Chain A
Amino acid sequence: MSGHSTYQPQNAFLQWFEKRLPIGGLIHSSFVAYPTPRNLNYWWTFGGILSFMLGVQIITGIVLAMHYTPHVDLAFKSVEGIMRDVNYGWLLRYLHSNGASMFFIAVYIHIFRGMYYGSYKEPREVLWILGVIIYLLMMATGFLGYTLPWGQMSFWGATVITNFFSAIPGVGEAIVTWLWGGYAVGNPTLNRFYSLHYLLPFVIAGVVVLHVWALHVAGQNNPAGIEPKSDKDTVPFTPYATVKDGFFIAVFCIMFAWFVFYTPNFLGHADNYVPANPAVTPQHIVPEWYYLPFYAILRAIPNKLLGVCALFGSILILAFLPWLDTSKVRSARYRPLFRQFFWLFFAVCIGLGYLGAMPAEGVYVTIARVLTFYYFAHFIIVLPLLGIFEKTKPLPNSISESVLSKA
């Protein structure tokens, strides 16, 4: 894209500064002059929403950290202290705990949007892989954060998830002991989880910078899935994208506020208001909702090691998506068959999410196995073959043509 800045500061100090560090020009070319396809729909506002949510999580998290005590005897109490005795502590804590869920809602929409419109295809492979890395980091951060209140689900969730590593042949047990810093989940575990939970969001912020950089090199994909050809196909980022993003961030905030103020514990688990007790195992150990599809995949496979491999494989396979999808056409708009398979895949993910919350017994296991098979088949069988056999619809000549034909 034409990243060349036309930034000419009027102010004498800014001119002086720009000669020494052209940061004004960088900001101007990235967030003001940056050309964005004029046909972007609201599904494209989730990048902005995600940046906003990362900011919310970091700011509320830093303030919460000022009041939180990472010790097995004090963690639960200190979180309750925040809820009861810190001024607006209940607000900070509910913003942060519900913010994690909102962050994941936004990232799932963002990922599915990328899949629907083929945003991962050449030349955006690196951009996509950076996104997968951010998603992995988010999952790690969310898991670490959920252990911090040191309730029953915190403790038992941490125990179950860290036990995945014991499936590694030979060294598994040693790795788990190393992760725990002892022979069970305990104070050293809580301390390191806290330290890493504070660290990872800044790593995410770093990878987000790379993600945005890669985006600005390749340019945005768009609903038509064709590259902009002339200036008629694009509009400058400011004011067009900024005001559109701003509007939809506000809409998103209404949903966010609904959960925070009116049903703040809906997305959590009642058992996490019971202080952690290593002697009492909860009846059902259920992870946070955003991990449920992967939890279902893990439990669908009878062998522990293979189950853990399937769990990680189900996420890592996303990184290979640019090469598994063999179609030259990006957008599902012009791929009638792919569009149906996309929605089938979406339904399978929702179904796996539901099964992840159900006990792993009887008919649930059977359905989970079928859906797990389909999850992988979508990537390994459906997508490669579709690219070969699908008859795609003709692409419009340009973005502006596709916009005008609709109007």
Chain B
Amino acid sequence: MTMHRTLIALALAASLGVAGAAQAQEHDTPKPPAQKWSFSGPFGNFDQAQLQRGFKIYKEVCSSCHSMSLVSFRNLAEPGGPGFSEAQVEALAAEYKIADLDDKGQPIERPGRPADTFPAPFPNAAAAAAANGVAPPDFSTLAKARTYERGFPWFVFDIFSQYQEQGPDYIHAILTGYEEAPKGFTVPSGGHYNKYFPGHVIAMPAPLTDGQVTFDDGAPQTLEQYSHDVAAFMVWASEPHMVQRKRVGFQVMIFLIVLTGLLYFTKKKVWSAVH
């Protein structure tokens, strides 16, 4: 027990000394504000309507520049996702033209099938970079590939609070973080001022504005809503089995806790003769 307490005390003392030094360093990029997400926490679940709205935004706006090459149309109908029907997915896939070869080996474009992945808007990264200044990142893993510095002691608390929504928080912040550059800040040509982007100069122009995408379910057609919906959709695209993972996790936890309890009492019984 004393070993335990000394351990914690020393670890804290050591880290606090260094953390003080860390704070001395000025960061002028504000941290993305934490948002409420339906999928956070141990019982988190995707909101199907939100994923469908997010997909609509991706399809109508983002996909003209951003690829999503690891996601297939069929994924949209799989459990734990946006919950489209098989028929809807088939119809949706058919809207896309997929490059293929015909039976004589000649290049053709055929209608998409559910098994196809989303076709990229540019033939390759160089073409994407030439058209946009910088190649727009692929959406497939983007929600897991973006984060921000949590710093001590928050990163320790995150283990217990299970906070892992840095990605969507950051994406939401970027989408809503476009504003006039402050006086004295020169934005280089081809760049755009964004409050939350590290260095504040982002190549992507503000992609979403109020009323840009029409929702059929009565959700507000505002930038705030769009940012939430598309970020949620990107989390699903990065982690399509998240709902299953958390559900299995809960079952595993119950099993392990019961097993641990049984082993504890077995251990007590076995050792009672010795103590």
Contacts and interface: CB of A to CB of B under 8 A. Distances in A.
Interface of A: 38, 77, 80, 83-84, 90-91, 94, 116, 235, 239-240, 243-244, 246-247, 250-251, 253-254, 257-266, 270-271, 273-275, 283, 343-344, 346-348, 350-351, 354-355, 358, 362-364, 367, 407
A343 B164 contact: no
A261 B70 contact: no
A343 B7 contact: yes
Contacts of B267: 243-244, 246-247
Contact of B274 (A38, A251, A253, A355): A38
16 contacts: A84-B75, A240-B274, A250-B259, A250-B260, A250-B263, A253-B256, A254-B260, A257-B252, A260-B249, A271-B145, A347-B11, A350-B14, A351-B18, A354-B15, A354-B18, A358-B18
Interface residues of B, number: 57
Interface in B13-63: 13-15, 17-18, 21-22, 24-25, 42
A270 B253 contact: no
A107 to B, nearest CB: 17
A257 B249 contact: yes
A263 B158 contact: yes
Interface centre among A274, A343, A347, A358 (most CB of B within 10 A): A347
Interface string B244-256: 1110111011001
B260 A84 contact: no
A389 to B, nearest CB: 22
Interface stretch (B95-103, B136-144, B225-233): B136-144
B15 A270 contact: no
A261 B21 contact: no
B145 A351 contact: no
Nearest to B20: A363
A41 to B, nearest CB: 9
A377 B257 CA distance: 44
Contacts of A262: 42, 162, 246, 249
A283 B147 CA distance: 13
B238 to A, nearest CB: 7
Contact of A270 (B18, B22, B147, B275): B147
B7 A346 contact: yes
Nearest to B255: A257
B270 interface: yes
B214 interface: no
Contact of B260 (A83, A235, A247): A247
B21 A240 contact: no
Contacts of B189: none
Interface centre among A84, A239, A266, A344 (most CB of B within 10 A): A84
A94 B244 CA distance: 13
Closest 8 CB pairs of A and B: A261-B249, A273-B145, A247-B263, A270-B147, A347-B14, A347-B10, A250-B260, A273-B141
A248 B150 CA distance: 32
A257 B162 CA distance: 13
Interface in B181-209: 198
Contacts of B159: 258-259, 263, 266
A283 B146 CA distance: 13
A247 to B, nearest CB: 4
Given A262-B249, A363-B24, 20 more contacts: A77-B70, A84-B70, A239-B270, A244-B267, A246-B267, A250-B260, A254-B253, A259-B159, A262-B42, A262-B162, A263-B162, A263-B164, A266-B159, A270-B145, A271-B145, A350-B10, A351-B14, A354-B15, A362-B25, A363-B21
Contacts of A350: 10-11, 14-15
A237 to B, nearest CB: 12
B152 A354 contact: yes
Contact of B164 (A90, A253, A265): A265
A38 B75 CA distance: 56
Nearest to A264: B245
Contact of A273 (B158, B238, B244, B250): B238
Contacts of B3: 116
B80 to A, nearest CB: 11
